[in-house]
Amino acid sequence: MVSLGGALGGTFVALAAPRLFNSYIELPAGMVLCAALVSCGAANIGGSRPFRRLFHVATALAILAFAGYLIQNHVRESREYTLSARNFYGVLRVRDDAPGKHSPAQRVLIHGTINHGTQLLRPGGDRIPTSYFGSGSGINRALRALGERGPLRIGVLGLGAGVTATLARAGDTLHYYEINPLVVAIAQSEFGFWNACPAEKRLFLGDGRLVLESMPAEHLDLLAMDAFSSDAVPVHLLAAEAYRTYLRHLNPNGVLAINITNRYLDLAPVVADAAAANGFSGIVIDDAGEDENYYSPSTWILISRAPALFEHANFQDHFAVSKLQRKPGFRGWTDDYSNIVQILQ
């Protein structure tokens, strides 16, 4: 019976809840229901009749107070967001932050607790890079250096709010590979980055690695991977075998830019091992994000089979830029084995 109940509950949360709710409302509702079931289970508590009556009244009042507290929290949290939507991949929220003493008004896309892109709410804000993509970030430095050669072909795994579109210019080609259709809908309706970008744009829906494996060569000058900032790291995107696919889509002097900014994991050894196994060399760029108050600290790894690019002036900041090096004894990730324990901080 317990197994059946667990299966039914799991099925409800996985299949029904994303269609019925725009938040994780089933969690507080389940907590209240559990408290009520415990109360019912204690219906035959021993003691005198007045004691039992007092116990049940106190229990009912406690459950009501607990439910009221949870409802109040849910309502207060809901008021913080202009939009809340949910699908199989989780809850996405949009929040508008008022201007502060040192910060402009801005709109933020939140997935769980992770910022997936910020747009400044001012004229031209849809063409200003923010968050992990500021002037000192690895991807920004790389695109400025590559752009001196002429129009670029750019691919990005992960759309988010679309902030990376601010880095593409007229004449460039920009392709996104995004797994979550809800992200696409919100990025195009609530944020202006996609529509304001003058590059030739196209969006491919599906798992980034699988989409790229099924496509003919994209001939990219830069392929960016921006999918690792949360605690749920898509391991298969960093497996050694995946780099063969990325390599097929890069031009001979192309760059693979990987945003390894992460609260919990040090992903540099993972990238270094796979890069070396596939003939890449690279650099690590730690950006404090202090040039503007709407920048966020970030760590990017840039790897290429044509490392002469890293001699460009954009990468001569010795405080922020270091050489990507393998970690002795580290076993890299593959499709058969992902040694995540070794990189836990």
Query: In this predicted model, what pLDDT tens digit does every residue of 99-114 receive, in sequence order?
Result: 988 889 999 999 877 8
Measured distance CA(175)–CA(254) in Å, rounded: 15
More confident residue, 23 or 241: 241
CB distance 304 to 283 below 8 Å: no
∠215-171-250 over CA atoms, to 5°?
35
Query: In this predicted model, what pLDDT tens digit does every residue of 202-213 receive, in sequence order?
Result: 999 999 999 999
Average pLDDT over residues 116-125: 95
Q: What average pLDDT is seen over the chain?
A: 87
More confident residue, 344 or 295: 295
Name residue, tokens 């980034």. Answer: 208
pLDDT of residue 323: 96
DSSP class per residue in 145-214: HHHTTS--EEEEE--TTSGGGGG--TT-EEEEEES-HHHHHHHHHH-SHHHH--SEEEEEES-HHHHHHH
343 has pLDDT over 50: no
- Residue 120 falls in which region: left (phi positive, over 0), alpha (psi -120 to 50) or beta: beta
pTM reported for the whole predicted model: 0.85
pLDDT of residue 340: 46
Closest CA to 111 of 207, 178, 193, 32: 178
Q: At what angle do helices 268-277 and 242-249 cross, to 10 degrees?
A: 70
Average pLDDT over residues 214-236: 86
Query: In this predicted model, what pLDDT tens digit does every residue of 327-341 receive, in sequence order?
Result: 998 888 888 754 444
3-class DSSP assignment, residue 8: helix
Q: How confident is the model at residue 89 (pLDDT cuts 50, 70, 90)?
A: confident
Measured distance CA(38)–CA(32) in Å, rounded: 10
Domains assigned to the chain:
2-79 (no CATH), 127-343 (3.40.50.150)
